[in-house]
Amino acid sequence: MPKTINQDIKPYNTKRNEKGNLEISGCDLVELAEKYGTPLYVMDKVSLLKIANEYKQAFSSYKKVNMMFASKALMTSAIAKILHEAGFGFDVVSGGEIHTINHAKVDMNFATFNGNNKTKEEIEMALKLNIGRVSVDNFYEIKLLDEIAQKLNKTQKILLRITPGIECHTHEYIQTGHLDSKFGFDLTQTDLAVETILKECKNLEIMGLHAHIGSQIFETQVYYDEIEVLIKETKRLNDKYNLNLSEMNIGGGLGITYTEKDCPPSVDKIAEVILTSIKDNCAKYNLDEPTLYIEPGRSIVGTSGVTLYTVGSYKNVPHFNKKYIAVDGGMADNPRPSMYGALYSAEIANNKADEPFEKVTVAGRFCESGDILIKDISLQSPKTGDILCVYNTGAYGYSMSSNYNNVLKPAMVLVNNSQSDIIIKRQTYDQLTQNDVIL
C-alpha cells in the first residue's frame, strides 16, 4: 500500500532551497522566523488537505461514512474552515471548541459533542446551536441532557459511549478503551443506560454506540476487535429492546511518525481493517451495515505542523560529556515531552551544510528541570541565533499550550503556494493581563 502523510516525519513539500534553508510549500522557514518571530507554529495547507483526502479516498468504498476531525488535536477557526470545506465534521469536547467551529460557520449538524463531564452551560450551548449528536458518557449526563432538551423543547439524537475493554499499546494517559477508564459505560452498564433512556427520557433518541480505544495507535487488530465488540453489542441491544441502532462511532487514534523508529500503519491499511471487520461482523451477527463515524485528529494535523524556535544559550557539562542548547520556547508551547516523554525529530532550518554534527539536548526556557524538548539529538553545530525546526507538532502543541511563567503564547501561520498567512496572532502582554483585577 502507498505511504500516507501520517507515515512521514516532515510535511509533504519540505526541502532545502537554493539558500540551503528549509522551506515548506515554497516558504523559507528562516524568513518566516524573521518575519513573524519565534516560537512560531507553522501549518502546511497542502499536507493538511492531502491527508484529509487520503482518509476520504481510503473509505470511499463505504457509502455510509462520516469523517469527523477530533478537534482536541488542534482547534482554530481557520483549521476548522479548511477541514469543513474538505468534507469533515467535528468531534468537539468543550464549549470553546463548539464556539470555535460555530465561529468558522461550520454546519453544527456535522458535529458530535463528546466528553465525560459536560457542563450544563456547554450542553445548552450545543443544543441551541443544533449539534448533530451528543455522545452520552454517564448516568448523570443522561438525566441532565434530557432535562435541558425538555426545557428547550428539543429531541436530541445521542450515541451511547461504551468502554469496549480493549487496551492498545500506547501511553497509559492516552488509552481510553480499557475497562478502568474515566470514559463511558462498561458493558455491564449498557442495559441500565438504555433502559433509563427508554423509560425516563422523552427527549433523547439513541442512534447507536460510540467507543474510543486510545491515541497514537500503531496496531491494526485493535480496530477489528473494537468493531466486533460494537456490532455484537448493537445487535444484542436491538434484539433485547426492539431498537434500530444504526450508527457506530469508532473514534480515531491512528499514530504518526515522530521519529525514524515509529512505524504507524497507513490510512489505507486501517481502512481495510475497519471495513473488513464491519463486513465480517455484520454478517456474523446478522446486522445491517451501520453508518460509520471515524474521528482522526493527530493523524490529520500532526505531520502538517512544525514549530520554529531560536537557539539562545548553551551549556557544556564536561563531567557527562554533554551539551545543552536552549530555545525560546519549550513546555508551555509543547508540553508533550514533559507529560508523556514524547519524542520528536528536528533539524536546523538555516544553512549549515558545511557544519559537523554534534549530539545535544534541546532544553526549553521555562523554570523546570523537566523542560526538555529533545534529548540527545544529532544537530549540525547549533549556535546562538540558529533556527530550530521541530517536526510533527501540529497536534497537541498549540491545543495544550499555556502561559506558564507568564510567557506569551506563540503565533501560528498557514503556508501554501509560497504564501504565509497568520491564523493565530501572537499574544501580547496586554492580553496576558486583560482579565487581571487589581484590588
For the chain, give every domain's residue range. 5-43+303-433, 45-301
Torsion (CA) 224, 230, 236, 241 in degrees, nearest 10: -160
321-341 pLDDT, tens digit each: 789 999 999 999 999 999 989
Side-chain half-sphere exposure of 192, counting CA atoms within 13 A: 9
Positions marked active-site: 367
| Phi/psi at 358 (5° precision) | -145, 150
- Residue 426 per-residue DSSP state: P
pLDDT of residue 179: 54
pLDDT of residue 175: 41
Amino acid (1-letter code) at residue 317: V
CATH number of 45-301: 3.20.20.10
Q: Cell numbers for 199, please give them.
A: 423509560
Which stretches of the chain score pLDDT less than 70? Answer: 167-181
- Dist. CA 356–CA 262, nearest whole Å: 26
Helix ranges, 181-305 (H): 190-200, 221-241, 267-284, 298-301
Burial class of residue 159, CB neighbours in 10 A (0-12, 13-18, 19+): buried
Q: Are strands 372-380 and 419-424 parallel, antiparallel or unpaired?
A: unpaired
DSSP state letters, 274-332: HHHHHHHHHHHTT-PPPEEEE---HHHHTTTEEEEEEEEEEEEEGGGTEEEEEES--TT
Cβ–Cβ < 8 Å for 175, 167? yes
- Dist. CA 338–CA 51, nearest whole Å: 28
| Phi/psi at 248 (5° precision) | -145, 115
The fold of 5-43+303-433 is Lyase, Ornithine Decarboxylase; Chain A, domain 1 (2.40.37)
pLDDT of residue 180: 56
Which residue from 268, 211, 295 is spatially nearest to 60, judged by alpha carbons? Answer: 268
pLDDT of residue 117: 93
Provide the 10 A C-beta neighbour count for residue 430: 7
pLDDT of residue 169: 52
pLDDT of residue 177: 42
